[in-house]
Amino acid sequence: MSLDLSVQIGSLTLKNPLIAASGCFGYGVEYAETVDLASLGGIAVKGLFLAEREGHPPPRIVETPAGMLNAIGLQGIGVHRFVADKLPELRARGATVIVNVCGTTIDEYVEVARVLSDHEGVGAIELNISCPNIKEGGITFGCSLTGTFDVVSAVRRVTRLPVIPKLTPNVTDVASFAHAAEDAGADAVSLVNTFLAMVIDVETRRPKISNVVGGLSGPAIRPIAVRMVYECRQVVKIPILGMGGIAVARDALEFMIAGASAVQVGTANFVDPFIWSKLLAGIREYMERHRLTRIRDLVGTLDTAHTLSEKSDA
Ligand SMILES: Cc1cc2nc3c(=O)[nH]c(=O)nc-3n(C[C@H](O)[C@H](O)[C@H](O)COP(=O)(O)O)c2cc1C
């Protein structure tokens, strides 16, 4: 059976729906000896500001039940070093590159997007308006409907690349943010970024990470993320890139049935860097078993009229 796993995100075609999530796959090149970068649907590289950034002092990550807490603080090499040192190799290796763009002001988002738009090899811009671990910019835009609209529309005006704002789950009604992004001209939305959380060492009564609070990721957040994707699917027409705790093919399929056109995988890559071929094989196996020739036909097919406990006529 010939299977079509391709996904369309604005003008960008992904060869399959599996994307490495930002911050969990470096700049892609670090994994080039382990993973065939061209075999992934896309690589969302670590968030980039205009300038280099150190991030927070250690400790910056701690394991939690079924997940991890991080407050890296968006350490990064800055957009100019990225386009000079990393982009050529990504291009040579045939990677589909999605650049996670950060900013402390709207002007900075616009400037980073402008620099990226001038270089061949960038497939799309993912606007990080949702990092919970920095004080200025970022999530302040992502937690305000007008802030979301303003950043997205400002970047939209300066680039032809697909613009994909990445939404925070740290709001009451994430669908209204997806709607604001769509109104502002976004080609897609990605969700979710990490959930604000903290872990305390009870013996010392100290926080386990230097920033005191951080962002929770991994399987612990998956059911909440799936619910948020489902809610956004009811409200927007643009594609959704779903993520949060995907560790096996079944998890990726769950997000797609809820309404995600493609999925991103973050924390699970730290556990198993060879996860990609297993995820792809699992998706193919499911498609064959369900006689689906095109993966896009699975998107948003949740049957809310029946639950598992009811007998299905199908
Ligand atoms: C160590 C770490 C660093 C991250 N850095 C970024 C980042 O730079 N930009 C961003 O948008 N999201 C970042 N994220 C969030 C992930 O891309 C993803 O949204 C989140 O972890 C949920 O997916 P997961 O449960 O599969 O990890 C980071 C997550 C982790 C764990």
Q: Is the CB of 193 under 6 A from ligand 1?
A: yes
Residue 286: band (very low, low, confident or very high) from pLDDT cuts 50, 70, 90: very high
Query: Is the confidence at residue 311, as pLDDT, over 60?
Result: no
Give percent of the chain above pLDDT 90: 91
The alpha carbon of 293 and the centre of ligand 1 are apart by a number of angstroms equal to 31
How many CA atoms does the CB half-sphere of 195 hold within 13 Å? 21
Lowest model confidence (mean pLDDT) among 22-31, 124-133, 219-228:
124-133
Residue 309 belongs to a domain: no
Q: What is the pLDDT of residue 25?
A: 98
Bridge partners (DSSP) of residue 262 are 241
Where b means 16+ CB within 10 Å and e means fewer, 126-154 reads bbbbbbbbbeebbbebbbbbebbbbbbbb
Q: What is the mean pLDDT of the chain?
A: 95
Q: Is the CB of 220 under 6 A from ligand 1?
A: no
Residue 274 belongs to a domain: yes
Q: Is the CB of 131 under 6 A from ligand 1?
A: yes
Residue 310: band (very low, low, confident or very high) from pLDDT cuts 50, 70, 90: low
CATH of the domain at 226: 3.20.20.70
Structural domain including 91 reads 7-298
Number of domains in the chain: 1
Determine which residue's CA is closest to atom 22 belonging to ligand 1.
244
Q: What is the pLDDT of residue 269?
A: 97
Mean pLDDT of 4-26: 97
**Per residue in 53-78, pLDDT tens?**
999 999 999 999 999 999 998 899 99
Enter the tokens of residue 35: 């993973």
Residue 312 belongs to a domain: no
Residue with tokens 């979301």: 148
* Residue of 191, 299, 302 whose CA lies nearest to 243: 191
Residue 87 belongs to a domain: yes
Where b means 16+ CB within 10 Å and e means fewer, 39-73 reads ebbbbbbbbbbbeebeebeeebbbebeebbbbbbb
Residue 131: band (very low, low, confident or very high) from pLDDT cuts 50, 70, 90: confident
Residue 227 belongs to a domain: yes
Q: Catalytic residue, from 24, 102, 131, 232: name it.
A: 131
Kind of pairing, strands 240-243 and 262-265?
parallel
Enter the tokens of residue 90: 């990504």
Residue with tokens 């604000």: 196
Mean pLDDT of 176-201: 98
Give percent of the chain above pLDDT 70: 96
Query: Is the confidence at residue 117, as pLDDT, over 70?
Result: yes
- Note if 24 is an active site residue: no
**Per residue in 217-244, pLDDT tens?**
999 999 999 999 999 999 999 999 999 9
Residue 214 belongs to a domain: yes
Residue 308 belongs to a domain: no
Residue 306 belongs to a domain: no
